[in-house]
Every structure is written in C-alpha cells, then in structure tokens.
C-alpha cells in the first residue's frame, strides 16, 4: 500500500467512526427537528472535517477529490444532510484553489478549517438560467460595490464566507468573495425544504456591500465559467452522497427482509422482494462507479463535467427510485415517519434540483455527446 493509499484509508476510517458515533444516531432527530443539534457542527470542525480538501499550505489535510468523495459517501450512509453541508464547503474551496489570486487565498483559506464557505448563484430571477440574475457589482475606485439577493444557498446562515455570482455589465459576470461581517451583508429567509432537513439552505442579501478589488475570484467575465466549474465539482460529490443514500436504503431493506416473515418465510426469500433488493444494489454500484470515475477524471486533469452530471443525474433518480423500492419492502412501516426510508427519499429528491436540475444536466450530457 502506498503512503497516499494508507492516508486515504485512515481518512475513511476516521469518517466512518465519526459517522457511526456522532451522525447516524442523530439521523432521525436531525430530520424531525429540521436542524443540527447544538454542538454537532462544532464537533465536525473539531474533528478536522472541514479541512479534508484544504491544501496543506493553508493548514488543511490536502486530500484529493477521490478521497474526499469517498469520505462523503461514507458519511452520507449515516446522514446525508451533514455530507451536503461539507459538499457545499468543499466545492467552494475548489474555486478558490483553481481561480483565486494568492493574496485572496492567503487571506481566506487559512480560516476554511473552521469557517464554512458557500457558493451563491441562484436568485428569485434566475436558477437554471444564471444569465437572468439581478445582482450587480459596480466598480468604485479600487473597490466593488455589490447589491443583490441570493436564495436557496446551501449553508446560507451557517457559512461565513460567500462566493457571489454578480453581473458587472448586462452581458458580463464575475464572482466576488464576501464575508458575512461586511457592512450591508445580512441573512434572509431559511428555506423550509422537505428533505436534507439538517442542511441549512437560505437567503443572503447584499445591500451595497463594499469589497476590495482583490476579492474578485478569477477575472471579470469568468463568472459563468466559475459557476459551471463549481457545479461540476459539486456534482461529483453529490454522486458520492447519493451512492451513500442508496447504500443506506439497501441496508434498511436487507435488514428488514431478514427479520420480517411472510407467514414462515423471510421476505428476502421471496422473488418479488429479491428483485427490489437487487435493483437497489445495482443502483448503488452504478452511482458509485459514476462518482468515482468523475473524481478520478478530475484528479487526472481530464474532462469530468459530463461524468459528474451523469453521477448526479443518474444517482438522484436512482436514489429516489431505490428509496421507493425500500419503502415497499418495509410495507406499511416504510410509509411511517418512525422509519427512515421516507426521509431518505426526500433527501435524495433535493439532488434532482440542487447544483443544476436533472433537465439542465441531461441537456449538458446530450450536448457533450453530440459534440463528440
């Protein structure tokens, strides 16, 4: 085993233990309360989980994307909400390391081990179609003045550093880094979403927030490119989370089918139940293969956006469908809030929307195939 393989193995072991001890026991409570219990997020920080992908020069653990994706996969088996909180953070850090000037990275990345970062594109006037956003950044001397309203932002309210997609001209966009402590910045409404109920998803409002020129991420005009790149990075990790949700659904279906009997026969011995379990297992394996391929392509500096879109497009549908199959295996109990299956379906459903809808991803996949 190489040193890197050994380090990856230790990371996965640590994440599995944290998940088993700290997250899985709270999975139902997080869904029912619609928030993380007090102190849980601090334990995520204390255990170094925000630092997984942060480069070592900024005090991070510097794991590559294959390891990070596998780590979120294991976490999502116990609790998908926290895995999505970390996904939002990791994909944002990726944009700093790819596009950030050294002075910006030196200023912000050392804090990324204890402060959450978020990426903000969506607005009331533009989700799937970011050219429709209204947020404006106007150059004033050495500064930019930003005004706008971002909604449905993963970790909105929890995150402290926000990348904000803004228009600089009617047909030109850029991404700026905004700190929650800057005058004119405030948190708005938290969404009351039906799934991933632990993950805060909320609004951030910018009223003439003044940011220095070096808070520009990349260059003026690169806004959409950075947004697309953030989507691709997020989709790899969401594929990993979806494979974790399917694994969770599979475990519930298998355990129940061993315990429950149809008169004297355990359910798993019935062919109709075997078909459902086999379908869930195949979905888990396909989703895993897609996210791991996407992560490997990214690490190898190959094109990975199409595979990433496939991982999330296929994985989100498969996780919802597999949850439905698992619910059926559990019969009436599966339909009860006392069992976790129904919330796994709601959790998975979010990923048919977040980081690009299925329709947008399938359009991108089709365009990529036609261009080959």
Ligand X SMILES: Cc1cc2nc3c(=O)[nH]c(=O)nc-3n(C[C@H](O)[C@H](O)[C@H](O)COP(=O)(O)OP(=O)(O)OC[C@H]3O[C@@H](n4cnc5c(N)ncnc54)[C@H](O)[C@@H]3O)c2cc1C
**Residue ranges that bind ligand X, judged by CB under 6 A:** 88, 119-122, 127-129, 152-154, 193, 196, 201, 350, 353-354, 356-357, 359-360, 363
Using N-to-C axis directions, what is the helix angle for 305-329 and 341-350, rounded to 10°?
160
User: CA–CA separation, 241 vs 292, rounded Å?
Assistant: 11
Q: How far is the CB of 333 from ligand X (least distance, A)?
A: 27
Please say which residue, 247 or 352, places its beta carbon nearer to ligand X: 352
Q: Are strands 185-190 and 261-262 parallel, antiparallel or unpaired?
A: unpaired
* Cα Rg of the chain, angstroms: 21
Please, which residue, 161 or 250, has the CB nearer to ligand X?
161
Q: How many CB atoms lie within 10 A of CB 270?
A: 14
DSSP 121-166: --BTTBSS-GGG---EEEEETTEEEEEEEEEEEETTTT-SEEEEEE
Q: Which residues contact 156 (CB under 8 A, 6 or more apart)?
A: 118, 120, 150, 187, 190, 200, 201, 202, 203, 204
Give whichever of 230 and 267 is closer to ligand X, judged by the CB atom. Answer: 230
Within 8 A by CB and 6+ apart from 98, the residues are 229
Task: Decide whether 108 or 256 has the Cβ nearer to ligand X.
Answer: 108
| Minimum CB distance to ligand X smaller for 17 or for 359 | 359
Q: Compute the least distance from the CB of residue 305 to ligand X, in Å.
A: 16
Taking the complex as a whole, the smallest distance from the CB of residue 243 to ligand X amounts, in Å, to 18
Helices first, then strands: H and E counts in the chain: 11, 10
Compute the least distance from the CB of residue 183 to ligand X, in Å: 23
Contact 108/60 with Cβ under 8 angstroms?
no
Alpha-carbon dihedral angle through residues 175, 181, 185, 186, given to the nearest 10 degrees: 120
How buried is 366 (Cβ within 10 angstroms: 0-12 exposed, 13-18 middle, 19+ buried)?
exposed
DSSP state of 47: T
Cβ-closest position to ligand X: 127
Residues with catalytic roles: 355
Closest alpha carbon to 70 in 322, 247, 282, 249: 247
Name the residue nearer to ligand X (CB basis): 164 or 250: 164
**Closest approach of Cβ 235 to ligand X, in Å?**
11
Question: Minimum distance from CB of 352 to ligand X (Å)?
Answer: 9
């Amino acid at each position: 085993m190489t040193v890197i393989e050994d380090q990856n193995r230790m990371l996965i072991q640590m994440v599995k233990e944290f998940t088993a001890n700290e997250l899985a026991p709270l999975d139902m409570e997080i869904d029912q309360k619609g928030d993380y219990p007090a102190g849980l997020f601090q334990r995520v920080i204390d255990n170094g989980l925000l630092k997984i992908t942060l480069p070592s020069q900024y005090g991070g653990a510097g794991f590559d994307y294959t390891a990070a994706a596998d780590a979120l996969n294991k976490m999502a088996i116990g609790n998908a909400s926290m895995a999505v909180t970390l996904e939002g953070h990791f994909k944002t850090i990726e944009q700093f390391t790819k596009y950030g000037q050294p002075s910006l990275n030196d200023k912000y990345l050392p804090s990324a081990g204890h402060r959450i970062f978020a990426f903000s594109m969506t607005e009331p006037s533009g989700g799937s179609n970011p050219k429709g956003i209204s947020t404006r950044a106007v150059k004033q001397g050495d500064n930019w003045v930003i005004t706008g309203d971002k909604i449905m932002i993963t970790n909105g309210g929890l995150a402290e550093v926000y990348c904000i997609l803004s228009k600089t001209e009617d047909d030109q966009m850029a991404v700026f880094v905004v700190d929650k402590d800057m005058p004119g910045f405030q948190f708005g409404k938290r969404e009351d979403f039906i799934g991933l109920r632990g993950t805060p998803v909320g609004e951030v409002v910018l009223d003439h927030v003044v940011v220095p020129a070096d808070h520009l991420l990349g260059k003026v005009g690169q806004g959409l490119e950075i947004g697309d790149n953030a989507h691709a990075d997020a989709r790899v990790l969401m594929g990993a989370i979806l494979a974790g949700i399917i694994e969770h659904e599979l475990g519930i279906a298998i355990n129940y089918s061993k315990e429950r009997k149809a008169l004297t026969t355990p359910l798993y011995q019935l062919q109709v139940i075997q078909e459902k379990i086999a379908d869930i297992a195949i979905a888990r394996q396909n989703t895993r293969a897609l996210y791991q391929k996407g992560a490997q392509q990214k690490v190898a500096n190959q094109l990975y956006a199409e595979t990433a879109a496939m991982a999330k497009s296929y994985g989100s549908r498969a996780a919802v469908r597999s949850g439905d199959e698992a619910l059926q295996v559990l019969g009436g109990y599966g339909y009860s809030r006392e069992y976790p299956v129904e919330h796994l379906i709601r959790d998975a459903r979010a990923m048919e929307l977040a980081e690009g809808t299925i329709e947008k991803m399938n359009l991108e996949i089709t365009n990529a195939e036609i261009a080959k």
